[in-house]
Structure 1
């Protein structure tokens, strides 16, 4: 249902790209005609957040686009907005997610996150025009964390395991490749990343899919592929033409990795159990922490990006701050956790983690300017277009009305009197209808109402266009009516969004109320570091008892 609704909203704002080209600066940038770049190969562009998806969609019509934003949430909102602005195929828009864990942490990123990333890597390096699974990516959005985290060299070369009806793929070979791709064999498939074999039937739950699929064999030939519900194991719907079993881990359990893991048993403190499982081809929690010991080379994500792409860095100041905070946290945790792991086995980390650590932000940006890429730094800060390497769009951030009908009427009337076409948009049709009734009741007329996935608006007097979103008018946004994130059954906690009093759910302790954050010392002596914990208050188990509080690392919580 949500997917169908999102398809209706694809490209609904694209016709207004021509209107925006009445702004000379937008026309130059959108047409790829800007050549006055700074000596470092970048161009600073003053552009409010609302017009950035429009600029990105226009640039992507000329050549591939890569957009880097501060956080995962920003990336998801940007992808949604781009879908409404982009006039081309919406399936060519992709999101490169970031791990939820630190590179050295003995916790694995979610299987759905890894599978999504692996799909992006393959499509970047080996695109196949017209292929529904491996089609080229024209617009790639990523949080800065994805940019600065190195990946295993050659990930994009991992041969994809595709099940196609009528094709020959021996069941034994399929099982072996699923095991190499870090799928877990079970008796009954319930969770993503699992598979089960019963006679000539293979059940697989691909992490990026909404439901698992049942593959029935006739000899070595795939006879049929159908989706089924994990709850009752019953198939439903029509036959599926093909299914791509994307890997669940970014460490392929091939023969080389398994052999190296076997040789390292007994040589890395507190890692024997993990190494023994890897040596047997069994995926284990936290095995990514051993990447530097199990693979020869890690490389920057930049090496997979198109050499002739346009690169948009959204709010470089925030990108730098986010990258520096990530690197600091990762280094502190590395020093503390591995010192504890190595206690009694000598001092210091038992293996070198330099190549797996987050990259320096400036070095990552500098690498983006290599080749024939145009790098644009989009900022809200003022720039001087008369100077080399600086450009300013005529767009401005709209006034925030925050539900005040009188202010909204006066502000919108002023825009119309100044000659701007005013568009009011919201993701949900019901929300848009309520906004329309409220504005019309206040006497505001002359507005065009469009349902779209745009999250932020702008006012561009030079182009004669103003876009006002639900966030601009009311101060908040309802749920985006884009494609549902079927890859996630639970919303992972975002510490920056938590406020005192919010309810959170712990995987073992249940529901509690968030009180705040607390830092604790971890590690020994010179290797001491700090780690943040959530402090949660629980309701009393019976009358007359005081509430209890509990603290736990953020990775155990959801909202």
Structure 2
């Protein structure tokens, strides 16, 4: 049987055998280089359990200099210090330049250090100060604690001192800010990106690593990647080719083999597999041993309890897995976070508008200390000031609403209370509608998709880019939804170009493999056309049929598509709201993908609402509309956020310019590097005049054309195609290109009168450039006449850093400026205006819980009279973070959660000062009172007088461990210190 030949050609190995080949113990130092991150991850997953040496995976290259500095440092440490190691390295890293030495400081528990010298070292070595660390290359000092996030570690470092002595070194989680592990010593390296003097092979020679074996995987793929790198980086062609040649001289090529379709057919046929086992050794490696031992009982096939990702042939033996037997791929464990952390969503800062549930909207003027207590200072109309004790912080929310100044009432008037009562009915009705939708979804069981197949894996391997961690998590979330019995309703939120479409492609492929039809709904014909071309190209190797249905389709073609959909011949249709028409009938539709849902009209949204009850919905959005964002936060819909930019993505440089800008220089700068330009002019009537004006400013050789929504669809399509083919240098357009045009050669965009557009709209337009690794530019040109709103938009773009700005941030900014009527539907615009975003959400959440029967009435306020309730000193926790910590304390209702928060505060901010200790005593007494029917606690002569809200028995007092207290029906007295000791 030639197709089952077990003799291997020289330098050819089955992919499944690579982990055992690399760990056979003969070679102590190995560097294995591949173009495929997926392969590297699979090898790492397989080797991680048993490999005895230092196993490292170097796959992530981003545009952050810190990442490459970190990789370089870790690489040097391994090469210099480890006697046995295996490094799995992405080709791009192997082609980078490296430094051979870097400045560092070593820290050890028990030794003394000067905090000033540490601060100087960090400042000199390019670490930025940030009170709460958010990313690599930052440091912070809080009391006796110094936090540092060096480029060489996955987690930041926390060092705690007692005077000058280093008491402990801990790693902590960047999201929770909590410590996760300890160490006795650590090295903190410089964060200055250095221009490396050595290429990869030179580095090995420099540090005398001659005994290292270097393998390169798949020479054809590597050579293809080399040409791709050169195309992206023409200036460095000679350098790239030289480095690749040196790798080839030092390394050995391994070409991968996979089982043929004929071989797989043999393995999947029980009788043929048994027959094969009589001629050669056959082993099945699985965790499902009980079942398979029973299936192959009495045969020569050996069943081994071991998890392998993939089978192979080696040394005359067939090693198989369930992947080869029935096409099921082993599900690797992916560390996904249970919830998304929305940073600063409710962060209240000085001069922000806030809303008190009793007094309405006021302006927050900071924390003021009076009589050893902290108060929130809120300014109302006519200079009225309200001081809110910190224990009533839960009655206050940040006010996010319309760009117009909110209505601020004078304290003591009935205006706000009257409005609040009137609008609560509308919130009740809306909550009822949401609960009904959720109940229908919960009661209808969704289709359960099968686990990933080999086809699915092959399809995903063909993705030409490197998935970011966020993208992987989003893909995993979608697959988990599809493989469960619930009806999926998930929002994928990611900035423009961050890989949402790939998530949709994988979901669509999974659905089609299981015999279900898929529809992709887009707001514009341009976007439908672009998606159609992309999907068709990506699915071309598989027997799957895809069509485009929009106003660009001719009548005959439409009839044909409709027939194929109804009979089930067509697997997927991509189109505009035409897909929602009554004459479009599907045989087996089970997945609807919606791109930018906020762009659809009211009627389309009503139709979509009905579909949500029956089929899986996947929504893609770069700037979640407030309604969508709100529903995800309320738990009605699920959300996955892709925040990490793709590998090599260079942030867009945004420049705000005055009207009358001389665009000639910017245009010629782009044309000089063979690039193209978008010019956004959102005025159809004067577009031709504007084109003439531009032509008069530019040299004759610059070719310009234009498109807008009033042109015939075929002409729009034709002009876009010509622009894509390079026949024009500049394409003028209205906001029609906001969604859908994706041309990597366009890296400059002008947006005229940007301040007349919505922020999320400008953000989408800006995202039409910056799709490659070239520096891209966005010129925002102001209107001649500025309004209050347009000035606010300009400020927002000025304040948000390009490298970190996300669609979600901008949607919240837009929410403040443009208004959030859509949260409530057409009828309730006034509700959000009155309550603000956060209080509205709080009231709606409460109403939803009431209607579900899950609402628990908060314990009544307890009157606690202490001589000193304590506070958090500014010297212990800074103002903005202090407010967050206060809020978390005030929300507590049991001693266990209090203990947990105290551990976290001590971990993050160090030893408790006395004033804070007294605040903790107050919190203990408050929680004790709330949980034991106590209406009043009063301190008098170091005794606590307790007044219960109802008669209480001696037996109940004994349960409270207060048996030696004096009882007088509703009141008793106890020593304060004794009480605190007993309730702790």
> Which interval holds the TM-score relative to the shorter structure?
0.5 to 0.7
Secondary structure in 2 aligned to 1:47? Answer: strand
- Answering whether residue 251 of structure 2 is matched by residue 368 of structure 1, we say no
Residues 202 and 215, structure 1, Cα contact 8 Å, conserved in 2:
yes
Alignment equivalent of 2:89, drawn from 142, 155, 159:
142
1:309 matched residue in structure 2: 212
Aligned to 1:465: 317
Which one of the candidate residues 302, 327, 332 is aligned to 1:447? 302
Which residue of 2 is the match for residue 241 of structure 1? 184
Aligned pairs (5 A) from 1:190-229: 190-206=134-150, 211-229=155-173
User: 2:605 aligns to what?
Assistant: none
**For the Cα contact (< 8 Å) 1:191–1:205, is it kept in 2?**
yes
Helix, strand or coil: the match of 1:467?
strand
1:512·1:536 contact (CA, 8 Å) conserved in 2? no
The answer on whether the counterparts of 2:17 and 2:311 sit within 8 Å (CA) in structure 1 is yes
Kindly report which structure 2 residues correspond to 1:50-199, keeping only aligned pairs within 5 A, or say none. Answer: 50-58=16-24, 61-83=26-48, 86=51, 88-89=52-53, 92-101=54-63, 108=64, 111-112=66-67, 114-124=69-79, 126-127=80-81, 135-136=82-83, 138-151=85-98, 155-199=99-143
CA deviation after TM superposition for structure 1 residue 482, in Å: 8.2
- C-alpha RMSD over aligned residues: 4.7
- When residues 513 and 167 of structure 1 are mapped into structure 2, their CA distance, relative to the original with a 3 A threshold, is closer
Tell me, in whole angstroms, the C-alpha distance in 2 between the residues paired with 1:301 and 1:217: 40
* 1:418-446, Cα deviation, whole Å (9 max, x unpaired): 23140324xxxxxx33x863784587964
Which fold has the larger relative contact order, with Cα–Cα distance below 8 Å and residues 6 or more apart in sequence? 1
- Conserved 8 A contact 2:268-2:324: no
Q: Displacement of 1:378 after TM fit?
A: 1.4
| Secondary structure of the structure 2 residue equivalent to 1:77 | helix
Cα distance, 1:46 vs. partner? 2.2
TM-score by length of 2: 0.34
Distance 2:268 2:76 in 1: 48
Residue 248 of structure 1: CA displacement? 5.1
Structure 1 position 177, deviation (Å): 3.2
Inter-CA distance 312–46: structure 2 relative to 1 (3 Å threshold): same
More helix by share: 2
Q: After TM superposition, list the pairs within 5 Å mapping 1:336-485 onto structure 2.
A: 354=236, 359-361=239-241, 363-368=242-247, 373=250, 375-380=251-256, 397=259, 407-410=268-271, 412-425=273-286, 432-433=287-288, 437=291, 440=294, 446-452=301-307, 454-460=308-314, 463-475=315-327, 477-481=329-333
Are the equivalent residues in 2 in contact too, given 1:206–1:245 (CA < 8 A)?
Answer: yes
Work out the CA distance in 2 between the residues paired with 1:315 and 1:48. Answer: 12
**What runs of 5+ residues in structure 1 fail to find an aligned partner?**
1-22, 27-42, 102-107, 128-134, 253-294, 332-352, 382-395, 426-431, 515-520, 538-547
Matched with 2:600 is none
Answering whether residue 330 of structure 2 is matched by residue 330 of structure 1, we say no
* Structure 1 residue 322: Cα displacement: 1.0
> 1:96-116, CA deviations, whole angstroms, 9 ceiling, x for partnerless residues?
335234xxxxxx35x456424
Q: Residues 115-165 of structure 1, C-alpha deviation per residue, up to 9 Å, x if partnerless?
A: 2442123322x31xxxxxxx45522221211122223xxx33113444321
Structure 2: runs of 5 or more not aligned: 338-467, 473-497, 508-617, 626-638, 643-666, 678-723, 725-736, 742-763, 773-802, 808-984
Give the 3 Å change call, closer, same or farther, for CA 419–553 of structure 1 in structure 2.
Answer: same
Q: Determine helix, strand or coil for the equivalent of 1:524.
A: helix
| TM-score, normalising length: structure 1 | 0.56
CA deviations 1:210-241 (Å, max 9, x no partner) are 6544211234331112344555545466x432
Task: Find the residue that maps to 2:110 and give its secondary structure.
Answer: coil
| 194 and 449 in structure 1: CA distance in 2 versus 1, 3 angstrom threshold | farther
How many pairs were matched up? Answer: 383
Who is 1:524 aligned against? Answer: 670
Is 1:163–1:243's contact at 8 Å kept on the other side of the alignment? yes
**Aligned-residue offset at 1:186:** 0.8
